[in-house]
Structure 1
Amino acid sequence: MLKTSLHRGIFIFFLSTLCIGLTLGKIIMSISMIGLFVNWFIEGNFKEKKKINDSRGYVPIILLAVFFLELLWMVFTKEPVSGLSSLRTKLPLLVLPLVMGTSNTINNKELKIIITSFLIGVVISSFIAYCVDLGWINKKINSGTSRDISITMSHIRYSIILCFSILTILHLTLKKKIKKWIAIILSIWILILIYKMASLTAIIGLTTGLVAYAFYWFKQEQTKNQKRIFYVFVSAFLFLVFSIFSIINDFYTIKNQLSFEELPEKTNLGEEYIHDKHNEALENGYYIWRYIAENEVQNAWNERSDISFGELDKKGQQLKFTLYRYLTSKGLKKDRTGVKQLSENEIRLIEKGATSSISYNALALRIREVLFEWENYKTTKNPNNHSFTQRIFFGKIGLEIIKKAPIFGHGTGATKKQYANYYSENKTLMKLDNQLLAHNQFLTQTINLGIFGAIIWIFLLILPLIKLKTDHRPLLNAFSLMMLIAFFSDDMLERQAGLTIFATIYYLFIFTSSDLELKNLFFLKKNTE
């Protein structure tokens, strides 16, 4: 039988490789998870494991309820295959509390190895992402956006873990556990990547996480540089808020103030203009749906491009709408004269899906995209091909599904079938390729578990986050808020990568706490008299 010290080394090894795998994809995650469980089982010594569980107030066993809740709700599902698939995805919720919770507390030396491994994984994955961006590695998806550089997992999950790595580096810096020059280089390297990916979920998550971290840190810590650091945080936050409001204000600032009655009726060549006074969508301050002479635009465009006016651009958008928006952004009319004023380079840009002649930074571009999606949705009620408005649409469907089984839900893994039923039974504007699921973890859980089960699920997850008094409390606060935001924008726990990211970090926070902290966590105190 292997010595206890060797089993401990294997435990730390697989936990470290798991943390490396959090940014590198499912294969490393799966191998690490299997390795952790097999090592735990072969080690045996279950009497000692039981003692550790008892000394921690049964917290490891209680936390298994998060998994067994899903297992119990299999009785409500009419889709056992989907239910079993969901349970397989959520196995980390069974393995990690069992293995980590009945092993001796991770000491500082071991924690250093684990955190270093995590940051190594972040650096490796970021190198891969930069190589994809430079074209040295092929993309898996070609949507025409910078988010395609994430090839190991969804860009939302990847950008969230990048944001958490920034907060981890900040935490280590303030605790004087990392050299400042290394922290600065790593932070700049990762922040540039987050900026390039332009995920609003990540940007909001990082901002909220930083505010939460700063609030708790300034409240608890007393340092000679506290005021200086506080002013840096506040200045950065105010600058971000000011930038966002400036972008929004500029988006809604109208540059052509002509009344509807003053608009010209015909082009120079005699075609009647279309002026849609009911659609007030803007591009760079100009109305998109005014000054449209479609026949002239179509003929002029087809003379200059190999992609027909009625086809799709290279981003999969209807080219004519891309062209309309681009012309509008330049303040040009949508007629032959307007198309003739475009350069050859601009023709190529439009073919690639460029909707504006203005070069915005990544943050401004993403915010403007969201604003445009919202304004377009208000007018047309068509959410297709727009991630923000599609999520609104998915949310409305989710609420309708919940109404059919509000108390106990439709059962584990039922969300996919329920959405498929809704799309088949109801006429919607949503194209087949866009008929997706909730993209909201809270909605997904309520569909599966009902309101009753979802409340139990939230209670089991949130209580440790509230009650723990760990040395890493500021980082835990930041992580909690980032996950809250991620859960509202993505069904994060329905995919192996998202579930493993959450579970690994969540249980590391819990099981690096003292046994005394854990003992009182769920109001259960073991009688030691």
Structure 2
Amino acid sequence: MFGSKIHRFLYFLALTGITVGLPLNKIVLSLSGLLLAVNWILEGHYKKKILLFTKNKVAVLLFLIFFLHIFGLIWTTDFEYALRDIRIKLPLLLFPVVIPGIEGLNKKRINYLLFIFTVVVTLLSFINWVVFRGGETGSHTELRDLSLFVSHIRFGLMVVFASFVALVLAFSGFAKEGWKKALLFPIGIWLLYYTWYSQVLSGFLAIGLLVVALLFWFLSKNYSGTKRIVGMIIYPLIIVSVTTLVVFAVLPEKKTRPVPADLEYTTPLGNTYTHILESDLTENGNLVFYYICKKELRQHWSEYSSVPIDSLDAKGNKIYGTLIRYMASKGLRKDATDLKKLSKEDIRYIEQGVASVVYTYGGLRSRLAIVSLELQKYWDGGDPNGSTVLERLESWETGWDIIGDHPLLGVGTGDIQNTFQQYYNVRETRLLPENRHRTHQQFLTMWVTFGIPGIALFLILHIVFLVQVWKANLINSFIFGIVVVSSYLTEDTLETQTGATFVAFFLIVLSAGVVKKENNGDSICYGKQK
């Protein structure tokens, strides 16, 4: 309809809009996707575009996964849910069909899109951080409130991806101008700090897998002979060591229960201690429900805080319970004598609902301490509600039960939610109705929904993508592949519009670096990579 230059301009305007809209909001995302589709229709040349589409293995596989959602309607019963799911998965149709036909999407333009994405993510992360710290809306207590624009989990994955991209671009030919290097390197460091600060578990997991994968990348790509052999020997030792440290940090420390005869039963003020002998719950390695004098805590708490001890903290839990756990985490006895040892900052943390001094440290240590406590409660038969880790364990177990009964074809496009509810009831789960979600694990979701064909096609898609970018030496594409796969381990990444768009968009754009084709002597679509 228009000249080729106008169509190309509109294409890159749409691609830029999607890049900006991913971390910003769904409106920009939807409008940019609409512009991309309309421009593709108006431009014509459908035979050429279809040919280019068929030459892109990643695009074909992603399209087949979308078609599987259509095919899955055959054995579904809940068409309302199925149609809603198909609408969410439209990016799996749009980007594979449209983007391979965009002429001129070469390495330079791909790096431009990555640069724009990284800058936008950085700006939004800074806004999130400033607002969360109280710059505009006062104090916050839940880290999930840190993300103002999109889901904190989705944004956390974008932050990890952008941080590594920034560092790679800073030391690549893209940053040959000094100002780019001066901008990108601090951006990478800031986004890594933001991941540490936000404590998104999937973000930590993504960084861990990226470090492992990139270490293997550099050993394989940059060394040969003796150096590679030495590196490959050291490599698994590093992985085992780090994994062991994380496991020991997460697994609760088993404390030997004190012998009742060895315990003290009188406080320095002459009151009686209570010991719950059957409890093994620990905070920071200290038993929680020992050496408790409720009488003294009630009498003296008001000397340090204006918040009544029987009221709720900022997170909705009883101040008394938070106080007990916090004092235990500091190795204190729960009496008037040790209550005096709490600082004003400690009192403020307790009022805010911080139940352990370890949680004040922030970062990975704090997050692992939370996971450790949740596992303790779960193994002791505690309530899984309100714990993201324990709720996931319940949903994963339920997902495997469903797979066991429907391994071949799954339950169909629209029946996954209803099937999960039925199996939760059969299992007599302790999860409240509002917490009875699907698997929170994309691999399980694909298997539950579409059976063996679904999980097989899904695995093939990502294996093909990673193998292609490995052979083509495209490190940013490799980074994205690892980030996405890591997200599947703890999240239903494709089950939201933002998640589906993030995955489909960058899978296709970044696969552009490995698609080269000659047609009548002319370089088409992606051009040669340097």
TM-score of the aligned structures, taking structure 1 as reference length: 0.85
What one-letter code is carried by the residue in structure 2 that aligns with 1:464?
F
Once the two structures are superposed, what CA deviation does each residue of 1:63-82 show, in whole Å capped at 9, x if it has no partner? 41110011111222221111
More displaced 10-residue stretch of structure 1: 190-199 or 169-178: 169-178
Q: Would you say the 8 A contact 2:95–2:505 is kept in 1?
A: yes
Distance of aligned partners of 1:134 and 1:74 in 2 relative to their CA distance in 1, 3 Å threshold: same
Instruction: Give distance in 1, aligned partners of 2:344 and 2:481.
Output: 50
Q: CA deviation at 1:209?
A: 1.1
Structure 2 counterparts to residues 102-121 of structure 1, below 5 A: 102-104=101-103, 106-121=105-120
Q: CA deviation at 1:340?
A: 5.6
Q: Would you say the 8 A contact 2:58–2:507 is kept in 1?
A: no
Q: Would you say the 8 A contact 2:310–2:319 is kept in 1?
A: yes
> Which residues of structure 2 form unaligned runs of 5+?
519-530
Q: Would you say the 8 A contact 1:384–1:434 is kept in 2?
A: yes
What one-letter code is carried by the residue in structure 2 that aligns with 1:386?
S
More displaced 10-residue stretch of structure 1: 393-402 or 340-349: 340-349
Structure 2 counterparts to residues 44-443 of structure 1, below 5 A: 44-53=44-53, 56=55, 60-104=59-103, 106-138=105-137, 144-178=141-175, 179-221=180-222, 241=242, 244=245, 248=249, 252=253, 259-267=259-267, 272-294=272-294, 296-298=296-298, 300-301=300-301, 307-339=307-339, 342=342, 345-357=345-357, 359-424=360-425, 427-443=428-444
More displaced 10-residue stretch of structure 1: 306-315 or 157-166: 306-315
Instruction: Give distance in 1, aligned partners of 2:252 and 2:404.
Output: 38
Q: Would you say the 8 A contact 1:143–1:315 is kept in 2?
A: no
More displaced 10-residue stretch of structure 1: 293-302 or 128-137: 293-302
2:489 matched residue in structure 1: 488
Instruction: Give distance in 2, aligned partners of 1:298 and 1:428.
Output: 36
Once the two structures are superposed, what CA deviation does each residue of 1:154-189 show, in whole Å capped at 9, x if it has no partner? 222211111111221232234332143223211122
Distance of aligned partners of 1:282 and 1:467 in 2 relative to their CA distance in 1, 3 Å threshold: same
Instruction: Give distance in 2, aligned partners of 1:266 and 1:397.
Output: 48
Q: Would you say the 8 A contact 2:11–2:102 is kept in 1?
A: no
Q: Would you say the 8 A contact 1:252–1:285 is kept in 2?
A: yes
What one-letter code is carried by the residue in structure 1 that aligns with 2:387?
H
Q: How many residues align?
A: 505
Distance of aligned partners of 1:397 and 1:317 in 2 relative to their CA distance in 1, 3 Å threshold: farther
Instruction: Give distance in 2, aligned partners of 1:162 and 1:316.
Output: 30
Q: For 2:24, what is the secondary structure of its paired residue? A: coil
Once the two structures are superposed, what CA deviation does each residue of 1:338-383 show, in whole Å capped at 9, x if it has no partner? 4465455533321210212454242211111111211222123422
Q: Would you say the 8 A contact 1:53–1:61 is kept in 2?
A: yes
Instruction: Give distance in 1, aligned partners of 2:251 and 2:455.
Output: 41
Instruction: Give distance in 2, aligned partners of 1:143 and 1:275.
Output: 35
> Which residues of structure 1 form unaligned runs of 5+?
518-529
Q: Would you say the 8 A contact 1:408–1:449 is kept in 2?
A: yes
Q: Would you say the 8 A contact 1:247–1:368 is kept in 2?
A: no
Q: For 2:446, what is the secondary structure of its paired residue? A: helix
Q: For 1:177, what is the secondary structure of its paired residue? A: helix
Instruction: Give distance in 2, aligned partners of 1:57 and 1:27.
Output: 29
Once the two structures are superposed, what CA deviation does each residue of 1:362-421 show, in whole Å capped at 9, x if it has no partner? 221111111121122212342222222221122122222333423212211433223333
